[in-house]
Amino acid sequence: MSSILADLSFRIYSEPDRFKIDHFDRLPDPLILLVFNKVGDVKALGRCCVVSRRFHALVSQVDNVIVRVDCVISDDDSNASDSSPDKPNGPFSTLFRLVFGGIVKPLQALGQFLGPNRTALVSGSSASASPSSSSLAVGASEEDGGADQGGVTHHSPTQVLKNFSEIRVLRIELPSGELGIEDGVLLKWRADFGSTLDNCVILGASSVIHPKTENAGGGDDDNNNGDDDNGSIPDSFYTNGGLKLRVVWTISSLIAASARHYLLQPIISEHKTLENLVLTDADGQGVLHMNSDQLEELRVKPLSASLASKRTLVPALNMRLWYAPHLVLSDGVVLKGATLVAIRPTEQSPKKEPSDVSWVSTAFEEPYRTAARMLVKRRTYCLEMNSF
């Protein structure tokens, strides 16, 4: 009997010995780093940091990071200006307020989003908070170990990224695009920057009709089917507000792009290892891209800032415009009033032949890449714009 008890005692106390070795610790650091680089998301990596000292040390070496902005934190703005009797009237002023009014608040928020290291609280009850303050923020919940009295602490991306020492690829995603546009309107842009604008491509349409959607009323170009327009812009384009609308699209897209570029300076200066930087939004409206050469150019050559606002000065530009009243894509989607604008600085030395538009037609993902390729085959219109 005593021998049986001895065996039972041996089995009870010796079984846990099998689990004293953590086999995950046998994985080499490069393999764990490979996993962390696949994870990418900065909040997920933050949670990994608290698992162990080893994870904490390895996370700082991750070279592929994604920062998703959670929210805009702002106090309510006064609506007094909306009711002002001195506001200009007319269709163009209404359009101007629609588009530019939609980007003022997000651009103000963007300025603090990538600005100095700071923490903003969701519960904006602090007496010291400015009535017009606003910021974009990456949140950390209580379970992540960064909670304040409101339950969630928010940090700017500059602060979030300060512990990463070897970032090569960085993607920042805003919660939405800056440009306020009506439902059914298509507006997408892509801009490449060095110390200033290298190029920008804008694709827009007054309305988008999907195959199963019945006639969706309304754009400014509905009366043009484009079947026999030989690539020319119809006269009605100049009289029904179509041209004015494209001008607003172009200017507002350039303002949004130059504001994003200006506000990336702190991150670019602090992370010398950066080789690829993308600042986009969850709506897929705009993409700002910088490669290794462009990032280095910004580090060694200071940018020119606009005196009117916190954004990079947009140089004098040459623009090429393509237009189709009615563009049918291969999947049956119809773009009404489809417009493509390719923009480059006037003083930029052309590295390619003027007829080469490959950089334009590859600016977007499908199905809009196909739309761009179709548009560049049409008649080209040249425009110029002064610096602003």
pLDDT tens digit sequence for 214-255: 444 444 444 444 445 666 787 778 878 888 899 999 999 999
Angle, alpha carbons 225-238-358 (nearest 5°):
70
The rounded distance, in Å, linking the Cα atoms of 285 and 219 is 19
301: phi > 0 → left, psi -120 to 50 → alpha, else beta; which?
A: beta
Which residue carries 């993409």 as its tokens?
287
Count of C-beta atoms within a 10 Å radius of residue 187: 21
> What's residue 317's pLDDT?
95
Sign of CA dihedral 365, 370, 376, 381: negative
Exposed e or buried b per residue across 42-54, where buried means at least 16 C-beta atoms within 10 angstroms of its C-beta:
bbebbbbbeeeee
H-only helix segments in the chain: 2-14, 29-39, 42-49, 53-59, 91-113, 157-160, 236-239, 242-263, 265-270, 292-300, 358-361, 368-375
- Going by C-alpha positions, the residue among 141, 195, 162 that lies closest to residue 67 is 162
Residue 275 above 70 pLDDT? yes
Q: Band of the pLDDT at 297, cuts 50, 70, 90?
A: very high
Residue pair 305/262 in contact by the 8 Å Cβ criterion? yes
> What's residue 84's pLDDT?
44
Determine phi and psi for 382, rounding to 5 degrees. -105, 140
Q: Band of the pLDDT at 322, cuts 50, 70, 90?
A: very high
Bridge-based pairing state of the strands 134-141 and 71-74: antiparallel
The rounded distance, in Å, linking the Cα atoms of 293 and 383 is 28
Which residue carries 């290298």 as its tokens?
198
Residue 150 above 60 pLDDT? no
Domain boundaries, the chain: 71-142+151-385
Sign of CA dihedral 256, 258, 259, 265: positive
